[in-house]
Chain A
């Protein structure tokens, strides 16, 4: 009967909408008018020239990007290419960033970017880095928040889809990378039917160096081939543990929508990573063959290098008692979220009618008394009732994710009933609910998964928008919705379109980042191997059929801007150094017929565009970023002669013949 009631819920909401629509005349305005307080506009209005209070880092999903918004205005500030090539910035096209997208499969210019995660210190966001996972070809990226550029990408070895990632530990000791898909470990040619016997699921811990942020695969924990869906690390009293949700504990490989939805309870895997560190120290690991890329961008040489690694340390639970415990959790739990105190572990059982909350204290007690329900491959399964803290009963349909406001409230998204539900941590009572338009996935409160949430705003990210905006053909935007949660009732203030499909997001007080944001790269620190530190250092060098052009740019000319002696079949590398040292003075470079992209060079930076001329002629190049009153004059020519021609190599600027 109860289940029937909750099934009725969407119809109730629909009915409410229809009722409203009769007074407004158009169904769309029901949702638009319904939740709005009359002063909502002024509460999201950030006057021209004023700054937003928060940064929001919203994942681009299948766009492979990370977008940066101001909150509460919802103004888009930047789109950062991470697991995508970007013809605008030249990311993945210029010679400097191509290595960033290198993998054991070669150059992989796309990925599915799901979960941004800000670095933390003492369990609080610190504004140093934002991590984000690539789901498809398993990777984790680190974005430097002083440049808002991708600084590092590390591939995850022997993983089948990096979804439960990159959730951080309290001091960014590690970010994690759990495989969503079981795969043969290590990869080999086996029958798919042999899933249960041959497939495994690896949970990877990536260490993060405190000063540089450099990531290394520290170790993997090898588990049964469940699907590891999401994760969050403990904090406060549960610091030292990470919790991963699982589905497909049925170990099926086909028709998962049915076959992986049969067990009443799946598990939350609790990993004691401090214990793992001990086992690593004791040498209780196996070294497994692996092949994965570690790609790092260096701001001093303005370029990236890619290094292939061939080994990984693996811990096997059977050989490492106390490393892993399973917490039974109904039913295909999606998100797992730890409250700011670290005591409560919320399992968002997406096919369950209830929301399950485990207690870390009770989990410790259960482990101490060693009363296990069973063991799976040496992993103790704790008893459900022993670890259960409470149940939020019938809050909605399809719970996915929970965040916290730091005032004892939790907020859970419900995909099927398309709403955010507010409930009290400890009493488990539902205190408020607000509709989402439509089918909300993740939600974000700035610091909402840290020890110190900023419980003022909540951003819900929706998968479906249907009639919410002007139509744009069959493909519609996804959206984010901003709620004011400072009062007892959630209030919808704003919704705005997003870049790609937003999954998770992170928010942080702007004050933690603003002063770290760089304005220029000091030219004297430029260590690019092909830099030209001034116009006197510009030159054109031929090495066989490779030509290196050392070119500078400053308002408003290139040096040199006339080049002759290039031949059909040459590989011409234009190395552009932007000599500017003023804020917001990038220059762009594009050359006719270039089959890659433009490049955008920041002040003090050097970037390289490869150009392979195919025909004879004289081809213009120009600055693409409107740099000054004489921007339109910032142009030049390259003369291309026949392959066998003996046109001498020469270059000049104005009357100043440089060679």
Chain B
């Protein structure tokens, strides 16, 4: 029982590894012609979807309104973000080794800061894709933007766009919760 916080911290560090298995985020576009939706997956190191052709299908849809093609090679985050995650896992294991409340708290704060930075970065990319439209777009709609929602549901022309965390994202959240509980428990035992 005494080792519980330490165990939780260990699991918190490991839970980030889920990001190497599952996408962290998904954007799903629904339209009458797409009854099952076009579901794009954002991994820490690549872009994908429910089918190998998803990214191409999204780009085909986007090109009508002059959005840039989404090309994974042009998104540097997909190159380095995996190392950030690995570093976080490593620091989480260090915190587990230290097994002190401040270490747990420090790791949690780092996680939260990086999550906020990541979401802001995601917003910037979405803004860029949604607003930076080609002058030669076949379809131009004055005043319209095609920025998908950061999180939640938004109507974009004939599409309903849904943006939500995927399994990897939820495990990232789980890491935060576990680290938070670990910190809280260590605080409690000390007080008791």
Contact = CB atoms under 8 A, between A and B. Distances in A.
A580 B139 CA distance: 21
Of B51, B52, B53, most A-chain CB atoms within 10 Å = B53
A291 B104 CA distance: 81
A635 to B, nearest CB: 14
Contact of B53 (A555, A582, A628, A629): A582
Contacts of B52: 522, 524, 581
Interface string A620-638: 0000000011100100000
A581 B64 contact: no
A603 B60 CA distance: 14
B51 A630 contact: no
A581 B56 contact: yes
A582 B138 CA distance: 21
Given A580-B53, A581-B51, A555 B139 contact: no
Nearest to B53: A581
Contacts of A603: 53
Interface string A534-574: 00000000000000000000110000000000000000000
Contacts of B134: none
Interface residues of A, number: 15
A520 B64 contact: no
Nearest to A633: B138
A629 B57 contact: no
A132 to B, nearest CB: 32
A57 to B, nearest CB: 26
Sort chain B's interface into a size bin.
under 10
Contacts of B51: 520, 581-582
B60 A555 contact: yes
B138 A520 contact: no
Interface string B46-83: 00000111001100100010000000000000000000
A455 B52 CA distance: 41
A455 B53 CA distance: 42
B139 A582 contact: no
A555 B139 CA distance: 14
A555 B52 CA distance: 17
B138 A630 contact: yes
A603 B53 CA distance: 10
Given A581-B51, A581-B52, A582-B53, A629 B60 contact: no
A523 B53 CA distance: 9
A629 B63 CA distance: 12
A95 to B, nearest CB: 26
Contacts of B56: 579-582
B57 A630 contact: no
A581 B60 CA distance: 11
Interface string B11-45: 00000000000000000000000000000000000
Nearest to A49: B35
Interface string B137-149: 0110000000000
Nearest to A554: B60
Nearest to B36: A583
Nearest to B33: A584
Contacts of A524: 52
B60 A630 contact: no
A610 B171 CA distance: 56
A523 B64 CA distance: 23
B89 to A, nearest CB: 33
Contacts of A581: 51-53, 56-57
A112 B158 CA distance: 48
Contacts of B60: 554-555, 580, 582, 628
A37 B64 CA distance: 53
B64 A630 contact: yes
A524 B56 CA distance: 14
B69 to A, nearest CB: 12
Contacts of A579: 56
Nearest to A629: B64
A523 B52 CA distance: 10
A580 B51 CA distance: 12
Contacts of A523: 53
Nearest to B56: A581
B75 to A, nearest CB: 20
A630 B63 CA distance: 11
A554 B53 CA distance: 12
Contacts of B64: 628-630
A634 to B, nearest CB: 12
Nearest to B136: A654
Interface string B109-139: 0000000000000000000000000000011
A67 B61 CA distance: 34
B19 to A, nearest CB: 26
Interface string A46-82: 0000000000000000000000000000000000000
A630 B61 CA distance: 11
B77 to A, nearest CB: 25
Contacts of A633: 138
A605 to B, nearest CB: 14
A552 to B, nearest CB: 12
A630 B139 CA distance: 10
Contacts of A554: 60
Contacts of B57: 581-582
A329 B177 CA distance: 82
A65 B20 CA distance: 50
Contacts of A522: 52
A523 B57 CA distance: 14
12 contacts: A520-B51, A523-B53, A555-B60, A580-B56, A581-B56, A582-B56, A603-B53, A628-B60, A629-B64, A629-B138, A629-B139, A630-B138
Q: Which 9 A-B pairs have the closest CB atoms?
A: A581-B53, A582-B57, A555-B60, A581-B56, A630-B138, A582-B53, A581-B52, A629-B64, A522-B52
Interface of A: 520, 522-524, 554-555, 579-582, 603, 628-630, 633
Given A581-B52, A581-B53, A582-B60, 7 more contacts: A523-B53, A524-B52, A580-B53, A581-B51, A582-B57, A628-B60, A629-B138
Interface of B: 51-53, 56-57, 60, 64, 138-139
